[in-house]
A and B are shown apart, each in its own frame.
Chain A
Amino acid sequence: MATESNVGGSILKAQPVKHRPRVEDFKSTFKLFIKNRLAFVGFVIVLIYFTITILDYVYPSYLGVKDINTIASWVPQLSSGVPSGPTLSHGWWYIFGETLYFAPIFPVMLAALKTDITYSILIVLTGALIGIILGTMSGYFGKLYDEVLMRVTDIFFSVPTLVLAIAVTVVLGKSLQNVVIALIIIWWPIYARLTRGVSLSIKSNKFIEAATAAGSSGLRNVFVHILPNVLSVVFVQFSLDLGSIIQLFAALDFIGFNEGSPLLPELGNMLTWGTSYLVSGIWWPIVIPGIFLLIFTVAINLMGDGLRDVLDPKLRR
């Protein structure tokens, strides 16, 4: 603040402006968010993908087959040959052409969302939960715990994510379930770090001091004061991570962890199928599922960016 050199000056001095926190209520936040058109478009696309996923669970028969968990349902006899390209002459399901065993790409792709999105959410959610709990504890237990947590996360961060995921999955055994477990194992440190930073900064904040002075217990502080503040930051990270995880999951499936489930509709799997036709110039089994995946990741990034702008203007990039 300016110095108080004399009284005459002080009446002319600037009054500190009080900024109202952006997150006052959900409604105004959402209004701000919608204002960013790109973010809103991203949000709508993500919503569509989620709806399809839910539809896969509650009403799978819209895809026209009994079991949507294997492409064998679409093609009773698994015959080999060259899949045909995008066409409308065999109905809507064939609009994007065929892939392995002449399975139609479009419905298989819709079925694939069930696997990809469910697993991605599962991974990020579990990882975030573990990370938040361990990270928040830093603000509560203090120095030694914090030091240990930091060193452990350091080690996780010292190996490239994908490489670590490969190593852990190989150790656990090559299956998609183990890919999920491996990704959870390597994902929690991100949230632990994030939460720790926020919780430590909040701990040093005035209002926690005040709350402690008013007789509020430590653990109570964690849940009443720290967690709600952590959540808005985590929420942004969560939405952005969903995009990375779905890529990573598909990538791991693609490079050879699909041994137990080679016929499962899953985007990475679909690309694997596509590669077997690559040299013969058959592009659609690769291009179409990839675009489908890309649209989702772009949309979720747009949404995440928009969310960050709204929830945490400080982090604005």
Chain B
Amino acid sequence: MMQNTEGKKSESETYLRVEKLKTQFFTARGIVKALDEIDLTIRKGEIYGLVGESGCGKSVTAQSIMYLVPDPPGRIVSGKIYVGNVNILTGLEQLAKITVKSETNVKIKRNKRMIKRHNYLLSRIRGDRISMIFQEPTLALNPVIRVGDQIAENILLHLKVDMANAILRREMSTRKDYESFVQKALSIGDKDARNKAIREWCESYSISDAEELVRNIFLTYQDPETVVKSIEFIVNERKSGTNINRLSRAREYYLYQQRLFEATLNLMEAESGKNQDEIDRARTALNEIKKEGSSFLSFRIINKFIGKRIEAPLRDAAKRRVHELLNLVNIAEPERTALSYPHELSGGMQQRVMIAMALASNPQMLIADEPTTALDVTTQAQILDLIRNLNRQMGSSVLFITHDLAVIAQMCNRVGVMYAGNIVEEADVNTIFDNPKHPYTIGLLKALPRADRIAGKMVKLETVAGSVPNLITPPTGCRFHPRCKFKMDICEKKKPELDDLGDGHKVACWLYQEPGGSGK
């Protein structure tokens, strides 16, 4: 009973759900079965660690979740990846027809139209809901674009509506505010005090022409009406005026784009469901929204030519946010750093910039693929601290990939252990270290020096005997069986499912489940 409610609760808190994900690489030497139908769930706000030997498919998992598997040669063959409530693999079968004639002879026929639509879907999910930090910051930053612009790009792609809202809201309140303020200012008798008040007011609304406003008010000192008019003029024309009108139009357009996206998504989901009624309904809905588009025609044309000017306030806001973000990742001089090129920064700084970039649009999910491997030890520790703190502050989930069990112990709430394209064990971090079940996990942990064991003299470290299998012809059944000390007959024949032993401790091993039955 108790377990049940808890299960439900965790279910509702899930942010990322990967189901039966199968990714393969179609190479000249054969098909690399890199991921063998893996299941993975990550809850809101947790740090989920993924460990495993080199080549076991950690990076492929991360890339698959972002749909970034290099194609060719790789493709996601089947599965579902829910990010929030959106399956980013919606309509996967329609993207490409894969005909496997033999291991080395595979025909892939891509459907350009579907791929285009899928790319559109991805561009709305990636960076917005889910971001990624790469292993080598030096390679992952574009060398010819200033880092500030690289971060701002992310903001401008995904936060336009929010920023436009904020700006418009502020401008509206400014308008209401200033009239009452002018009255108040004029009632102040003392010249200097009034001057100061006006200046403060102007600055609080970041009106750059503060000086000019003050002068205007002085000039028309005798005549309150003129004062009001002159400020009105400045506020309306010079600062906001036409720009604000355009911006509010732009906001409507962005909102329309959002609706269009949602409708497209609905259609894609319906199409993968094969229910003709639903498809028709979704298609009609999409067409309805598309019709709205015609009213934006003139705006789109204007936007094409003076888009930069319309978005100028957004760009300013984005710039401010870039500085905030750089501050957040502990970069000392945000203004200067924002203007530098990647090669002018140290590796640690670059990785901070990467993190700032990944966080720029407040994603709910962050994937970090060995984010510290390329850095020196001190910087490593700082970056790990940073990720942990940010996770606490922002409450976004993190998929943390590493080959370093010590880091896992420091960082993660839950851990998944991967072996040769499978997740073989999953549990919370204490359980994994204290009570490992899968023979592979046990082997890994034996190799880890522990305080209690190091207390002795020289400790001979054990490693897991044997080596990672070739994933073109992986072992049958349990892929670990050639290296397993506890191998049984069934292990070679049938693949063990990832089975819950209770308390969310899942293991895929025949030692813990009944062959034949479902094991439950």
Within 8 Å by CB, do A and B touch in the complex? yes
By a CB distance below 8 angstroms, the chain A residues around B403 are 9, 12-13
Shortest beta-carbon distance, A11 to chain B, in Å? 5
Asked if B51 is an interface residue, CB under 8 A from chain A, the answer is yes
Interface flag for B193 (CB, 8 Å): no
Q: Would you list which residues of chain A between 93 and 138 have a CB under 8 Å from chain B?
A: none
User: Cα distance A13–B376 when bound, in Å?
Assistant: 16
B406 interface residue per 8 A CB criterion: yes
The answer to whether A5 touches B449, judged by C-beta atoms less than 8 angstroms apart, is: no
- For B407, the chain A residues whose CB sits under 8 A away are 5, 9
**Is B54 located at the chain interface by the 8 A CB criterion?**
yes
- The reply to whether the CB of A7 lies closer than 8 angstroms to some CB of chain B is yes
Interface hub of B373, B376, B464 (most chain A Cβ within 10 A): B373
Residues of B with C-beta under 8 A to A7: 447-449, 461
**Quick check: B53 and A2 within 8 Å, CB to CB?**
no
B464 touches A11 (CB 8 A): yes
Quote the shortest CB–CB distance from A17 to chain B (angstroms): 10
Q: Does B463 have its Cβ within 8 Å of any Cβ on chain A?
A: yes
Residue of A5, A14, A15 near B404 (CB, 8 A) is A5
Cβ distance A88 to chain B, nearest Cβ, rounded Å: 46
Contacts of B74 in A (CB 8 A): none
Contact call B404/A12, Cβ cutoff below 8 A? yes
Flag if A3 contacts B377 (CB, 8 Å): yes
Given A5-B406, A6-B404, A7-B449: A12 in contact with B373 (beta carbons within 8 A): no
**Chain A residue nearest to B55 in the complex (CB):** A14
Interface size class of B (residues with CB under 8 A): 20 to 34
Q: Contact at A8–B448, with CB atoms within 8 Å?
A: yes
B115 in the interface (beta carbon within 8 A): no
Partner of A12, one of B53, B374, B377, B449: B53
Contact A8 B380 (CB under 8 A): no
Q: How far is the CA of A71 from the CA of B189 in the complex (A)?
A: 111
Contact partner of B463 (CB less than 8 A), chosen from A2, A6, A9, A11, is A11
Provided the pairs A12-B403, A12-B404 are in contact, do residues A5 and B380 lie with their beta carbons within 8 angstroms?
A: yes
Given A12-B51, A12-B52, A3:B380 Cβ within 8 A: yes
Say how far A15's CB is from chain B's closest CB, in angstroms: 7
User: Could you tell me the distance between the alpha carbons of A277 and B333 in the complex, rounded to whole angstroms?
Assistant: 75
Chain A residues near B380 (CB, 8 Å)? 3, 5
Contacts between the two chains (Cβ within 8 Å), count: 52
Output the least CB separation between A34 and chain B (Å): 16
Interface SS of chain B: loop
- Residues on the B chain within 8 Å of A2, using CB: 373-374
Whether B405 sits at the interface, judged by CB under 8 Å, is yes
Give B394-420 as 1s and 0s: 1 = Cβ < 8 Å from A's Cβ atoms: 000000001111110000000000000
Q: Using A11-B447, A11-B464 as known contacts, say yes or no to A6 and B406 having CB atoms under 8 A apart.
A: yes
Contact of A13 among B54, B374, B375, B461 (CB under 8 A): B54
Cα separation A13 to B374 with both chains bound (whole Å): 12
**Residue ID in chain A nearest B379 by CB atoms:** A3
B405 to chain A, nearest CB (A): 5
Task: Give CA–CA (A11, B447) in the complex, Å.
Answer: 8
Contact A5 to B377, CB < 8 A, known contacts A12-B403, A12-B404, A13-B403: yes
Q: How far is it, in angstroms, between the C-alpha of A15 and the C-alpha of B53 when the chains are bound?
A: 10
Chain B residues lying within 8 Å of A5, measured Cβ to Cβ, are 377, 380, 404, 406-407
B140 to chain A, nearest CB (A): 17
Q: Which residues from B are CB-within-8-Å of A9?
A: 402-407
Q: Are the CB atoms of A8 and B404 closer together than 8 Å?
A: yes
The answer on a CB contact under 8 Å between B405 and A8 is yes
A13 vs B58: C-alpha distance in the bound complex, in angstroms? 12
Closest to A5 in B: B377
Closest A residue by C-beta to B376: A3
* Docked CA distance A14–B402 (Å): 12
Contact A8 B54 (CB under 8 A): no
Nearest residue (CB) in B for A3 is: B377
Chain A residues positioned under 8 Å from B449 (CB to CB): 6-8
Residue of A8, A14, A15 near B406 (CB, 8 A) is A8
A222 vs chain B, min Cβ distance (A): 36
Contact among B52, B54, B463 for A15, CB-based, below 8 A: B54
Q: How far is the CA of A3 from the CA of B404 in the complex (A)?
A: 11
**Cβ of A14 and Cβ of B448 under 8 Å apart?**
no
Q: Which chain B residues in 358-384 approach chain A with CB under 8 Å? A: 373-377, 380
Known: A5-B377, A5-B380. A12 touches B54 (CB 8 A): yes
B464 CB contacts on chain A under 8 angstroms: 11
Closest chain A residue, CB of each to CB of B462? A11
A14 and B376 CA atoms in complex are apart in Å by 17
Nearest CB of A to B403, in Å = 4
| B145 smallest CB distance to A (angstroms) | 25
Q: In the docked arrangement, what's the CA distance between A7 and B380, Å?
A: 16
Digitize B454-469: 1 where CB-to-A-CB distance is under 8 Å, 0 elsewhere: 0000000101100000
Alpha-carbon separation in the docked complex, A6 to B55 (Å): 20
B447 CB to closest chain A CB (Å) equals: 5
Measured between C-beta atoms, what is the minimum distance from A5 to chain B in Å? Answer: 6
Q: Say how far B387's CB is from chain A's closest CB, in angstroms.
A: 16
- Which residue of chain B is the closest to A15 with respect to CB atoms? B54
Within 8 A of B (CB), among A224-269: none
Q: Please report which residues of chain A, range 15-44, place their CB below 8 angstroms from some CB of chain B when the two chains form the complex.
A: 15
When chains A and B are docked, how far (Å) is the Cα of A13 from the Cα of B463? 12
The minimal Cβ–Cβ distance linking A13 to chain B, given in whole angstroms, is 6
Binary interface profile of B, 299-337, with partner A (CB < 8 Å = 1, else 0)? Answer: 000000000000000000000000000000000000000
List, in ascending order, chain B residues with CB within 8 A of A3's CB. 373, 375-377, 380
Bound CA span A15–B54, Å = 8
Residues of chain A with a CB closer than 8 A to B448's CB: 6-8
In the assembled complex, the CB of A52 is this many whole angstroms from the nearest CB of chain B, namely: 38
Assembled-state Cα–Cα distance A146/B267 (Å): 68
Bound CA span A11–B56, Å: 13
Inter-chain contacts of B447 with A (CB < 8 A): 7-8, 11
Docked Cα-Cα span, A87 to B89, in Å, equals 65
In the complex, residue of chain A having the shortest beta-carbon distance to the beta carbon of B454:
A7
Interface residues of chain A, those whose CB is within 8 Å of chain B, are 2-3, 5-9, 11-15
Give 5 nearest A-B pairs by CB, closest first: A8-B448, A12-B403, A9-B404, A14-B54, A8-B405
Q: What are 11 A-B pairs with beta-carbon distances under 8 A?
A: A2-B373, A3-B375, A5-B377, A5-B380, A5-B404, A6-B448, A6-B449, A7-B447, A8-B404, A12-B51, A13-B54
Q: A2-B374, A6-B404, A9-B404 are in contact. List 11 more A-B contacts (CB 8 A).
A: A3-B380, A5-B407, A6-B406, A7-B449, A8-B404, A8-B448, A9-B403, A11-B461, A12-B54, A12-B404, A13-B403
